[in-house]
Amino acid sequence: MSRRQRGPAVAGLFLFATVFIQPGWTLAEEPEQPEEPRAPIQVASGNAGKNYLKLSLNGLVAAGGSTESDVTGLQLGSHDPSRRGFTLQNVELVLDGAVDPYFTAQVNVVFVESPGGETEIEIEELFATTSSLPANLQVRVGHFFTEFGRLNTQHPHSWDFVDQPLSHGRMFGSDNLRSSGARVSWLMPTPFYSELYLTIQNAFGETLTSFGWAPGEEVFGATMASASVDGGGDLLYVPRYAFSVDLTDNQTVLAGVSSALGPNGTGPDGRTRLYGGDVFWKWKSPRANQGFPFVKFQAEGLWRSYRADGIPVSFEDWGAYGQLLWGFHRGWVAGARYDRMGGDEGPMADPFVEDRRRASANLSWFMTEYSKLRLQYNHDERTDFDDADSVWLQFEMILGAHAAHKF
Amino acid sequence: MIHSRHKFRVAMLALLALVPGASLTVAGLKVVATTPDYAALAQAIGGDEISVKTLAKPAEDPHFVDARPSHVVTLNRADVLIESGADLEIGWLPPLIQGSRNRKVLPGEPGRFLGSGDVRLLDVPTELDRSRGDVHARGNPHFLMNPENSGIVARRLAERFCELDADSCPVYRANLTRFNERLEQKILAWTGRLAPHSGAKIVTYHNTWKYFAERFDLRSETFLEPKPGIPPSPPHLGKVIAKMKAEKIRVILVEPFQSRKTAQTIAGHTGASVVDVCQFPGGIKGTDDDYFALIDAVVDAIAAALDQAAAP
């Protein structure tokens, strides 16, 4: 859903509010009647258990500064710190539960502070997933993060850094690659974990950087064509294969290859191809206390071929990042990341394709599972701009249920 | 009947051999336990009729297990999933179940076994408020430290295995009888060993030993954690030291994943001894896959420390 459709989203929020703040229905417990004892119906609450859905609210705030005054040009993600001073990075309401014996569902309603300081609302994800299809199949339908690589499907709460990697900002967009569609995945009958995914989604919209973009928007001097699906070729196809093995009792590797193939909005013959590889390795102590100590490494590489229609713009570029996180003491994690973007410069000096490098270091302190502080330093090098040094301090809090993390 | 079942199994095996990578184990029920204590109980009841796999390792914090993809595969091929039923695994089990696509282990199915059934849970909060720490909404999940609760779980496991695999039911029943006889003897022995210390106070790191203390008439009311899930802070530890001195508490229990250093510091200030214990078979040397051996080791260690404290 476009972030610009604020009206319906506000109405939706109002609806949420009226549902959750019904006195005596969700929040207050009525005294039991002596004759007919009846438990109050719990529609939602922060804890698992006697209610139909789990509710949680996650808030991320950053403060800091940069030698670069145009922070939005430096930071590519819409959940990144976007200015000197304070940024409300992300406020996310997550609701999830079982629909019925056949589906589970999750909704992520996100509130972000616009550069103008207003609160904008978007439905970041809303999807249902099957619980028990035969033949080890699973289907997801709705609006969701595209199953490509590792980081693309993660919400800012799960990130190991204050910001998203440059490669993701440039190729997947400020808010990662997501759209409305369906995903089929097959858990393969191998002795080790091995899963095949195929996601098919609409290829047009603000969250489809590299593909359709928002119709009417200018990219490389071309106005994006209107969005319509006249055939299968107008959709986005994303196959992915992932596998994992336990190297030892305490070490696990998860790796995958993905590609995203679809039209771009430059015209009927505009096509984009994205290929990616990802690897994640983790060691955790066999005597881990609250999950500490651990060491984990994660890297992703992306390669893009962009062929425009109507304008003489075709280029190939790539981006990659690697990061190492060390949970050296209960609650404490030190991290380092290196980001690199390269490839054809394109016909014009466009910030969309310039060469970039970034080195980051950070230190996170998880006071509990529900709050954390993170201090991060970024050093940016760009071909067309001055080098920049930035320091960000991030605070996170979670109210209510804390959804379990995937590996 | 047995003959036709045998034929069926042979046919199934032949079929399985055609599927690359398919497991060729002949054991009947494939049981997956979230933690090693349930695995040990399941093995005691199931014997050779079942195969058991465990997700959490004995010495790691059971609240924080990684949802490794290999666990998805393990759950995908399970007939039975045994979990605490008291949210101990809430931080890692849900995505594994979702990923497993296994109808047999979905909530409400006979293949989903909740350990807490018929068990009286302690510390059930009347109000949920995280300023009091990370309290388990359904109550304290460490109930298998009271051996009588393990008897309840064993009985229910035998019933459940019978429901899922009627052919082997006589074996499950026989194993249960043997388990109960041994449990009865052992409880007498454990009670006798700890009886001289009736009413003795112990300090623990986390509120893990409440059920154990209740059963064996010990007092477990002082914790190194100021609140559940919150790391020990110097002011809180100062209070613990003062309390231990005033009440002459001489024993501190520590589990493998908890900070032994903190416990040793407190012991240094109070003259108490640090006792290494674990909730899970395999977390103490020589107790692999054996619930009785685990409680033997725990009771011996605690009783020895209390003996020493009581000695003139």
Residue B286 pLDDT exceeds 50: yes
Q: pLDDT tens across A16-26, in order?
A: 444 443 333 33
Q: pLDDT tens across B122-164, in order?
A: 999 988 888 888 888 889 999 999 999 999 999 999 999 999 9
Nearest residue to A158 via CA among A139, A131, A176, A184: A176
Question: Which range of residues forms the domain containing residue B245?
Answer: 196-310
- Contact between A283 and A250 (Cβ < 8 Å): yes
Asked if residue A136 is part of any domain, the answer here is yes
Mean pLDDT of all residues in A31-56 = 56
Asked if residue B102 is part of any domain, the answer here is yes
Which of B64, B73, B137 has the CB atom closest to A48's CB atom?
B137
Number of domains in chain B: 2
Q: Kindly state whether residues B63 and B102 are assigned to the same domain.
A: yes
Q: Kindly state whether residues B153 and B46 are assigned to the same domain.
A: yes
For residue A243, what is the nearest residue in chain B, using CA coordinates?
Answer: B69
Q: How many Å apart are CA B253 and CA B240, to the nearest integer?
A: 14
- Contact between A272 and A210 (Cβ < 8 Å): yes
What is the per-residue pLDDT for A209? 87
For residue B126, what is the nearest residue in chain A, using CA coordinates?
Answer: A29
**pTM, full prediction:** 0.87
Q: Kindly state whether residues B37 and B67 are assigned to the same domain.
A: yes
Residue B211 pLDDT exceeds 90: yes
In 10 A of CB B8, how many CB atoms? 10
Mean pLDDT of all residues in B218-241 = 95
Q: Which two tokens stand for residue B238?
A: 């100062």
Q: Kindly state whether residues B210 and B279 are assigned to the same domain.
A: yes
Nearest residue to A97 via CA among A49, A27, A25, A39: A49
Q: pLDDT tens across A181-224, in order?
A: 999 999 999 999 999 999 999 998 888 888 987 777 777 677 77
Final residue belonging to a domain, choices B187, B214, B230 = B187
Q: Is B67 on the interface with A (CB under 8 A)?
A: yes
For chain B, how many residues are written? 312
Closest chain A C-alpha to B222 CA, distance in angstroms: 20
Asked if residue B219 is part of any domain, the answer here is yes
Asked if residue A387 is part of any domain, the answer here is yes
A24: left (phi over 0), alpha (psi -120 to 50) or beta: left
Q: Kindly state whether residues B165 and B33 are assigned to the same domain.
A: yes
Which of A192, A254, A406 has the CB atom closest to B73's CB atom?
A192
Residue whose pair of structure tokens reads 């199994």 in the numeric block: B9
Q: Kindly state whether residues B242 and B271 are assigned to the same domain.
A: yes
Q: Kindly state whether residues B141 and B253 are assigned to the same domain.
A: no
Mean pLDDT of all residues in A117-146 = 94
SS (H, E, C) A147-192: CCCCHHHCCHHHCCCCCCCHHHHHHCCCCCCEEEEEEEEEECCCCC
Q: Is B125 on the interface with A (CB under 8 A)?
A: no
A290 CB neighbours in chain B (<8 A) are: 61, 63-64, 229
Q: Which two tokens stand for residue A174?
A: 């400020």
CATH number at residue B117: 3.40.50.1980
Mutate to test the interface with A, among B25, B100, B101 (most CBs of A within 10 A): B101
In 10 A of CB A44, how many CB atoms? 18
Please give the biggest Cα pair distance in chain A: 80
Q: pLDDT tens across B47-70, in order?
A: 999 999 999 999 999 999 999 999
Q: Kindly state whether residues B178 and B85 are assigned to the same domain.
A: yes
Asked if residue B84 is part of any domain, the answer here is yes
Q: How far is CA A358 from CA A278, A289, A328, B74, B274, in A?
A: 19, 33, 24, 40, 49
* Single-letter residue type at A194: S
What is the residue-averaged pLDDT of chain A? Answer: 86
Which residues have C-beta within 8 Å of that of residue B66, sequence separation ≥ 6?
A252, A282, A284, A291, A407, B92
- With b for 16 or more beta-carbon neighbours within 10 A and e for fewer, the A119-155 pattern comes to ebbbbbbbbbbbbbbeeeebebbbbbbbbbbbbbbbb
Asked if residue A317 is part of any domain, the answer here is yes
Q: Kindly state whether residues B147 and B223 are assigned to the same domain.
A: no
For chain B, helix, strand, coil in percent to 5 are: 50, 10, 40
Q: Which two tokens stand for residue A355?
A: 């060469």
In 10 A of CB A228, how many CB atoms? 8
Dihedral angle sign, alpha carbons of residues B73, B76, B77, B79: positive
Asked if residue A205 is part of any domain, the answer here is yes
CATH number at residue A186: 2.40.160.10
Question: Which range of residues forms the domain containing residue A279?
Answer: 6-400
What is the per-residue pLDDT for A352? 65
Q: Kindly state whether residues B203 and B111 are assigned to the same domain.
A: no
Contact check, Cβ <8 Å, B91/A282: no
Q: How many Å apart are CA A75 and CA A71, to the nearest integer?
A: 6
Pairing of strands B251-254, B273-276: parallel
Q: Is A369 on the interface with B (CB under 8 A)?
A: yes
Does ipTM top 0.90?
Answer: no
Number of domains in chain A: 1
Residue A29 pLDDT exceeds 60: no
CA atoms within 13 A on the CB side of A154: 17
Q: Which two tokens stand for residue B128?
A: 């949920």
A191 CB neighbours in chain B (<8 A) are: 21, 23, 73
Asked if residue A326 is part of any domain, the answer here is yes
Contact check, Cβ <8 Å, A287/B256: yes
